[in-house]
């Protein structure tokens, strides 16, 4: 007998038939004699619809009321999933995040989990019940309803796997697992059998959208291995786990392409101490996350600064930058949005040299001009023209030996 946490995302519970399909997957696991805790998201599109409805009523809703509204999406799916199981003759009980013992900071919209108290869940598992928990939500110290950030059901699942000391945590989604690159762009992309937490975290942060980045951070911190697999077939997925030394044999595990970026170039900024600080302070006050940054050496009393921001934040970024430049008394700003960020990720980079030169020559071969570069211990990212980026990704994928036979 094993204790298993299974998380189903929004597409997996998107309509009645899909919820019934999920119920059959859960039933067969339960019939095999295992204890099953299920985490579900809201039906796909529901959370976005609720946000749009809130904004139509009030352009600046409070975070508290937003949380109160958004948790309703998951509450619909837990009840329906429990009902689907009961219709198949399986004893099942649904629980909100609070009932499941997910305790968070008392802050709204992106609360961190502070503790887990899973007694109620375990009690129900011991009574042979399947427990269905609402993802994405928790409760603050005074019972406030909180949410864990967009995509937060992944975090609920990983935290519950830790909280109930599960033998296995499975994240069911609409893809088969984690690939060496996006198969829609790189037809020769391969599904990985395993990947380390750190590599998965880089890929999640690079916008691959398979998992919420915070949930991968949590799994790394508490060493909670999990599997990413499809809810539409029975193929084995990708295991995400602690790194083992053989993983270093592969230099590059995957190639990620993020087209949701824009480049901001500021020329002729008065070159005095504190200018850059003021610009980035202003951006952070405007809630814009800045990614790659280059500042060149000041000449004739002025400096140039280039960085990237998420494309959706371009308006907010431009307002913030214009305001600060007028405070600083100079500088012209240009936005370029047809760029893409291509990254190669692999823990093998720690022990292999020459990865950067191999990447740059692959980009040369693909005739993609490099505009910006940034590196970390296990990642190299470059900004290139968006129009060249699909082709460049395929060339880089081949050069690092990732193509399937």
List interacting residues with ligand ASP (CB under 6 A).
10, 41-42, 47, 73, 135-136, 150-153
State the nearest-atom distance from the C-beta of 399 to ligand ASP, in Å: 35
Residues 1-40 as x/- pattern, contact with Mg ion by CB under 5 A: --------x-------------------------------
State the nearest-atom distance from the C-beta of 358 to Mg ion, in Å: 33
Residue recorded with tokens 């602690």? 242
Edge-first strand order for the sheet with 113-116 is 113-116, 102-104, 137-139, 145-147
Indicate which of ligand ASP, Mg ion, none lies near residue 384 (CB less than 5 to 8 Å, by partner kind). Answer: none
Indicate which of Mg ion, ligand ASP, none lies near residue 12 (CB less than 5 to 8 Å, by partner kind). Answer: none
Q: Name which of 157 and 305 has its Cβ closer to Mg ion.
A: 157
Indicate which of Mg ion, ligand ASP, none lies near residue 152 (CB less than 5 to 8 Å, by partner kind). Answer: ligand ASP
Indicate which of Mg ion, ligand ASP, none lies near residue 135 (CB less than 5 to 8 Å, by partner kind). Answer: ligand ASP
Under the criterion CB under 5 A, does residue 73 sit at the interface with Mg ion?
no
Under the criterion CB under 5 A, does residue 151 sit at the interface with Mg ion?
yes
Q: Name which of 9 and 138 has its Cβ closer to Mg ion.
A: 9
State the nearest-atom distance from the C-beta of 155 to ligand ASP, in Å: 8
Distance CA 124, CA 23 (A): 18
Q: Name which of 97 and 135 has its Cβ closer to ligand ASP.
A: 135
Under the criterion CB under 5 A, does residue 140 sit at the interface with Mg ion?
no
Q: Name which of 43 and 394 has its Cβ closer to ligand ASP.
A: 43
Q: Name which of 110 and 150 has its Cβ closer to ligand ASP.
A: 150
Q: Name which of 38 and 264 has its Cβ closer to ligand ASP.
A: 38
Size of residue set near Mg ion by CB under 5 A? 2
Binding residues (CB under 5 A) for Mg ion: these are: 9, 151
């Amino acid at each position: 007998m094993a204790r298993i946490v299974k998380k189903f995302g929004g597409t997996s519970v998107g309509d009645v038939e899909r919820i019934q399909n999920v119920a059959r997957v859960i039933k067969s696991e339960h019939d095999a004699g295992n204890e099953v805790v299920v985490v579900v998201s809201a039906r796909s599109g529901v959370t976005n619809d609720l946000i749009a409805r809130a904004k139509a009523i009030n352009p600046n809703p409070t975070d508290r009321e937003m949380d109160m509204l958004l948790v309703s999406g998951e509450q619909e799916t837990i009840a329906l999933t429990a009902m689907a199981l009961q219709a198949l003759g399986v004893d099942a009980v649904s629980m909100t995040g609070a009932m499941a013992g997910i305790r968070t900071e008392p802050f709204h919209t992106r609360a961190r989990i502070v503790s887990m108290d899973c007694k109620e869940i375990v009690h129900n598992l011991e009574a042979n019940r399947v427990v269905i928990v609402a993802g994405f939500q928790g409760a603050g110290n005074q019972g406030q309803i909180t949410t864990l950030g967009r995509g937060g059901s992944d975090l609920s699942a990983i935290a519950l796997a830790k909280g109930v000391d599960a033998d296995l945590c499975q994240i069911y989604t609409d893809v088969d697992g984690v690939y060496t690159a996006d198969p829609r762009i790189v037809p020769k992309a391969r599904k990985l059998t395993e990947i380390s937490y750190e590599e998965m975290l880089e890929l999640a942060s690079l916008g691959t959208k398979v998992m919420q980045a915070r949930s991968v951070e949590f799994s790394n911190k508490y060493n909670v291995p999990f599997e990413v697999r499809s809810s539409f077939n029975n193929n084995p997925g990708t295991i995400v786990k602690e790194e083992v030394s053989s993983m270093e044999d592969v230099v590059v595990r995957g190639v990620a392409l993020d087209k949701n970026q824009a480049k901001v170039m500021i020329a002729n900024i008065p070159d005095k101490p504190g200018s850059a600080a003021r610009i980035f302070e202003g951006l952070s006050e405007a809630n814009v996350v800045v990614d790659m940054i280059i500042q060149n050496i000041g000449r004739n009393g002025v400096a140039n600064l280039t960085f990237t921001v998420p494309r959706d934040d371009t308006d907010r970024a431009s307002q913030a930058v214009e305001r600060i430049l007028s405070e600083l008394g100079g500088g012209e700003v240009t936005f370029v949005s047809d760029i893409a960020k291509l990254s190669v990720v692999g823990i093998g980079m720690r022990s292999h040299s020459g990865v950067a030169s191999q990447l740059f020559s692959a980009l040369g071969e693909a005739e993609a001009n490099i505009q910006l570069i940034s590196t970390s211990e296990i990642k190299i990212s470059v900004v290139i023209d968006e129009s060249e980026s699909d082709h460049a990704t395929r060339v880089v994928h081949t050069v690092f030996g990732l193509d399937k036979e």
